[in-house]
Amino acid sequence: MNGGMSIPVWDYRREYEAERDDVLAAVDRVCRSGRLILGESVKAFEQEFAAYCGVRHGVGVNSGTDALTLALRALDLRPGDEVITTSNTAIPTVSAIVSAGGTPRFVDIEPDTYLMDLSRLEAAVTPRTRCIIPVHLFGQCVDMDGVQAVAARQAVAVLEDCAQSTGAEFRGRRAGSMGQMAACSFYPTKILGAYGDGGMIVTGDEALAARLRRLRVYGTDGSYYAEEHGCNSRLDELHAEILRRKLRRIDAYIARRRDLARRYDEQLCGSGLMLPAVGPGSTHVYHLYVVRHPARATIVEALKGHGISVGIHYPWPIHLMPAYAHFGGGEGSLPRTEQAAREIFSLPMYPSLTNAEQDRVCGTLLEALATVRLGS
C-alpha cells in the first residue's frame, strides 16, 4: 500500500470519540431506569423522530428490514399481491416484500439519479398491484408527486423506503411524510446511525400505528393475549436513548455531508466521472456519494493500491440474483439498472472524514482516471 494511512469508505470511530460522553451517559441513564424494553426512551424517540419526519406517529422496530416487512403486513398482502419497486436497491427492500407474502414487480431507473423511472411506473401496475415502494436511494427522494398521482389513479398504497434518506426533502416535504407509511433504518452507516440495528415505521395514520405496535410484539397489546399473528421486533431502550441524542445533532451531520459532496463536486468536475445528479425539487443528504465510470474495476483497484476503500451500491441487480430471479424478466429486462450495476461506485462519505483525507481521495482518483485515459 502506498500513500499513507488507509481511508475507509465509512467509519464511526472518530464520531464515537467526539460523542463518547453523551453515548455513555445515555447507556447509564437507561441501565439505571429499571426499564430496558419499550420504556420511556423508545416512546420519546418515536415521538421526536416522527415529528422530525413531519408525521404524527412512530413505531420503533428491530431494523429497517422489519420496518418494511411489518408495514407491508399491515396492508394485509395476500398471496399473489404485487408490490412495485426497483431492482437497484439493497436486498432488504425486496426481501421484505417476499417475507410479507407479496410478489415484487420491478421498474427500471433514471440514468442519472438511479431512482425509480416514473415514466415506466403506471405501465407496471396490474390488477394485483397493492403497493408501490419508492426507494429514496443514496440520500434523495423519488418524485413523490408523480408516485402519488399514479397511486391515486390506481388506488394502491405507497410505502416509502427511507433507509438512506433521513432528512432529505422533496418540494419542502421530508422523506417519510409523503406515503401512507415509511420505513426508516438506523443501521450504523445511515444518516442517523445506531451502534447496531434499529428501525422505525412512521405514519400519519393512527389506526395503522396501533396495529404496527401490536405486530411488533407478537400481535398483542402488551398482554399475553394475541389478537393476530405478530413477531418480536422492538427497538431497544439503549439505542432509542442514544438515537434521541444523536437526532439533536442530525442537522450538523447532514451539513457536513453536503459540504463533503460540494468539495467532491468541485475537485472531480470535468474528470470524466459521472457525478451525482440532484433531481428537481430534491434536497440531497448524501448518505452515499455515488460516481460512475465504465472502467470501474481498474479505478477501484488503483484506489485500493493507495489504501483508499470504495463501496459498490449495488454490484448485482436484485432481479438477477438466484433468490429473486424468478420474479424478474431476466437479463436485459432492466437495462439501465444492469448498466449502472457495472459502473457505479461510492466514495468515502461520513461526517468525520477530514478535508485532507478527501483531498487525498480526489488526488488519487484523478491520477487513476488519467491513467485510464492514457490507456484507452
N- to C-terminal Cα separation, the chain: 25
Closest Cα partner for 123 from 107, 112, 139? 107
Q: What is the C-alpha separation between 279 and 287, in angstroms, rounded?
A: 15
What's residue 9's pLDDT?
98
Closest Cα partner for 175 from 272, 285, 327, 300? 285
pTM exceeds 0.75, yes or no: yes
What's residue 4's pLDDT?
65
Contact (Cβ atoms closer than 8 angstroms) between residue 360 and residue 4: yes
Closest Cα partner for 216 from 42, 62, 56? 62
- pLDDT < 70 stretches in the chain: 1-4, 376
Cα angle for residues 236, 97, 217 (degrees, 5° grid): 30
Q: What is the C-alpha separation between 31 and 155, in angstroms, rounded?
A: 47
Pick the CATH number of 250-375 from 3.90.950.10, 3.90.550.10, 3.90.1150.10, 3.20.20.100: 3.90.1150.10
What's residue 373's pLDDT?
85
Domain chopping of the chain, boundaries: 14-247, 250-375
- Count of Cβ atoms closer than 10 Å to residue 277 Cβ: 15
Read off the pLDDT of residues 90-127 as tens digits, 9 standing for 90 and up.
999 999 999 999 999 999 999 999 999 999 999 999 99
For the domain covering 14-247, report its CATH number: 3.40.640.10
Closest Cα partner for 201 from 190, 192, 213? 213
Closest Cα partner for 187 from 178, 202, 197? 197
What's residue 374's pLDDT?
80
- Count of Cβ atoms closer than 10 Å to residue 18 Cβ: 13
Read off the pLDDT of residues 222-239 as tens digits, 9 standing for 90 and up.
899 999 999 999 999 999
Read off the pLDDT of residues 161-186 as tens digits, 9 standing for 90 and up.
999 999 999 999 999 999 999 999 99
Three-state secondary structure call for residue 65: helix
